[in-house]
Structure 1
Amino acid sequence: MKNVLLLLFAFALFGSCARKNEPVADTNDVVFISASNHLYALDAQTGAERWHIKEKNNYSYYGSPVVLKEHLYINSINKFYVYNTENGTEKWNFGNGNYGNGLPLVHDGLVFTPSGGPEFFTTKLLALNADSGTEIWNFQSSGSASSPVYLNDNIYFTMQRSLYALHAKTGVRKWVFTTKTPTYTHAEFTAPAIVNNVAYFGSSGENKLYAIDTDTGAKKWEFLADSSIYTAPTCSNRFVYFGCADNKLYALDADTGQLAWTYTTKNAIISSPVEADGVIYFGSLDGNMYAVEDKNGEPKWVFKVGSTIRSSPVLANGYIYFGSDNKKIYALDASTGIKKWEFETVSSVSSSPCVVSKFGNVFHSGLSGMQQ
Structure 2
Amino acid sequence: MAHPDRQEQRSPARCAEHWWLVGSLLVACVGGCLAWPGSRFGALLGTDWLDAVEQGFEGQMPWVAFGPLVFTLFVGLLTLRRRGRNPRRRGSVLGLLVVAALLTSGTGCSATSDSRSGDGPATVAAFDVETGRPVWVAELEAANGASTPAFGADLVLVQTGRSYESPAGRLVALDPRSGRQLWYVATEGGTCGGADALGDPPMIADGVVVVPAPDGYIQGINARDGSERWRTRVAGAPAAIADGVVLVGTQTAYAGLDLATGAQRWTQSVPEAAWGDWRPGGRAFVLGAGSTFVVELATAGGFSVAALDAGSGRELWRDAVGSVDSTARRYFTDGVDTLAALQGGPMDSPHGQATRLVGRDLRSGKPLWATEDLPPNEDDLPQTGIAADGGRVFYASASGRLVALDARSGAERWTASYRTGKDLFVPRLMVGEDAVVVRQGTQLSVFEAATGAQRWSTRLDSSADPETTAATGKGLVLVPRSSQPCMPPVAGGMGPA
Q: TM (normalized to structure 2)?
A: 0.54
Deviation per CA, 1:232-254: give whole Å up to 9, x if none. Answer: 43147854212356633221233
Q: In 2, are the aligned partners of 1:166 and 1:172 still within 8 Å (CA)?
A: yes
- Which among 202, 219, 224 is matched to residue 320 of structure 2? 224
1:52 to partner: Cα distance:
0.8
- What letter matches 2:436 in structure 1? I
1:199 to partner: Cα distance:
2.7
Do residues 74 (structure 1) and 158 (structure 2) align?
A: yes
Which gives a bigger RCO, structure 1 or 2 (Cα 8 Å, sep 6+)? Answer: 1
1:179 corresponds to which residue?
270
- What letter matches 1:214 in structure 2? A
1:168 corresponds to which residue?
259
1:54 to partner: Cα distance:
2.3
Distance 1:224 1:40, change over 3 A: same
- Which among 172, 180, 202 is matched to residue 104 of structure 1? 202
Runs (5+) with no aligned partner, structure 2: 1-120, 162-168, 345-352, 479-497
Do residues 64 (structure 1) and 149 (structure 2) align?
A: yes
Do residues 199 (structure 1) and 293 (structure 2) align?
A: yes
1:356 corresponds to which residue?
474
Name whichever structure is richer in strand by fraction: 1
What is the CA–CA distance in structure 2 between the aligned matches of 1:131 and 1:182, rounded to whole Å? 35
Q: In 2, are the aligned partners of 1:188 and 1:203 still within 8 Å (CA)?
A: no
Distance 1:96 1:188, change over 3 A: closer
CA RMSD of aligned residues (A): 3.5
Distance 1:94 1:211, change over 3 A: same
Map of 1:127-166 to 2, 5 A cutoff?
A: 127-135=220-228, 136-142=230-236, 145-146=238-239, 148-152=240-244, 154-166=245-257
Distance 1:330 1:212, change over 3 A: same
Map of 1:333-348 to 2, 5 A cutoff?
A: 333-346=448-461, 347=464, 348=466
Classify the secondary structure of the residue corresponding to 1:260: strand
1:188 to partner: Cα distance:
5.7
What is the CA–CA distance in structure 2 between the aligned matches of 1:232 and 1:162, rounded to whole Å? 21
Classify the secondary structure of the residue corresponding to 1:340: strand
Runs (5+) with no aligned partner, structure 1: 1-35, 364-372
1:219 to partner: Cα distance:
1.0
**Bigger mean CA deviation after superposition, 86-95 or 256-265:** 256-265
1:294 to partner: Cα distance:
3.2
Distance 1:200 1:324, change over 3 A: same
1:81 to partner: Cα distance:
0.3
What is the CA–CA distance in structure 2 between the aligned matches of 1:129 and 1:315, rounded to whole Å? 24
What is the CA–CA distance in structure 1 between the aligned matches of 2:433 and 2:294, rounded to whole Å? 24
Distance 1:125 1:103, change over 3 A: farther
What is the CA–CA distance in structure 2 between the aligned matches of 1:139 and 1:357, rounded to whole Å? 38
Name whichever structure is richer in helix by fraction: 2
- Which among 393, 411, 431 is matched to residue 280 of structure 1? 393
1:33 corresponds to which residue?
none
1:190 corresponds to which residue?
285
Distance 1:140 1:231, change over 3 A: farther
What is the CA–CA distance in structure 1 between the aligned matches of 2:470 and 2:436, rounded to whole Å? 11
What is the CA–CA distance in structure 1 between the aligned matches of 2:312 and 2:418, rounded to whole Å? 44
1:225 to partner: Cα distance:
0.8
1:163 to partner: Cα distance:
3.7
1:294 corresponds to which residue?
407
Do residues 257 (structure 1) and 356 (structure 2) align?
A: no
What is the CA–CA distance in structure 2 between the aligned matches of 1:286 and 1:203, rounded to whole Å? 30
1:222 to partner: Cα distance:
0.3
Deviation per CA, 1:281-318: give whole Å up to 9, x if none. Answer: 1335665433234345454315344243453321423x
- What letter matches 1:352 in structure 2? A
- What letter matches 2:182 in structure 1? K
What is the CA–CA distance in structure 2 between the aligned matches of 1:219 and 1:93, rounded to whole Å? 36
Q: In 2, are the aligned partners of 1:43 and 1:49 still within 8 Å (CA)?
A: yes
Classify the secondary structure of the residue corresponding to 1:233: strand
Map of 1:326-337 to 2, 5 A cutoff?
A: 326=442, 328-337=443-452
Q: In 1, are the aligned partners of 2:187 and 2:212 still within 8 Å (CA)?
A: no
1:93 to partner: Cα distance:
1.4
**Bigger mean CA deviation after superposition, 236-245 or 95-104:** 236-245
- Which among 306, 314, 339 is matched to residue 210 of structure 1? 306
Q: In 2, are the aligned partners of 1:37 and 1:55 still within 8 Å (CA)?
A: yes
- Percentage of matched positions with identical amino acids: 13
Give the number of aligned pairs: 312
Q: In 1, are the aligned partners of 2:402 and 2:418 still within 8 Å (CA)?
A: yes
Q: In 2, are the aligned partners of 1:156 and 1:192 still within 8 Å (CA)?
A: no
Deviation per CA, 1:96-149: give whole Å up to 9, x if none. Answer: 13523533334455321356x57xxxx76431233443443144435x542x31
What is the CA–CA distance in structure 2 between the aligned matches of 1:311 and 1:185, rounded to whole Å? 20
- What letter matches 2:322 in structure 1? D
- What letter matches 2:222 in structure 1? N
**Bigger mean CA deviation after superposition, 336-345 or 267-276:** 267-276
Distance 1:193 1:46, change over 3 A: same
Distance 1:236 1:145, change over 3 A: closer
Classify the secondary structure of the residue corresponding to 1:76: strand
What is the CA–CA distance in structure 2 between the aligned matches of 1:161 and 1:268, rounded to whole Å? 30
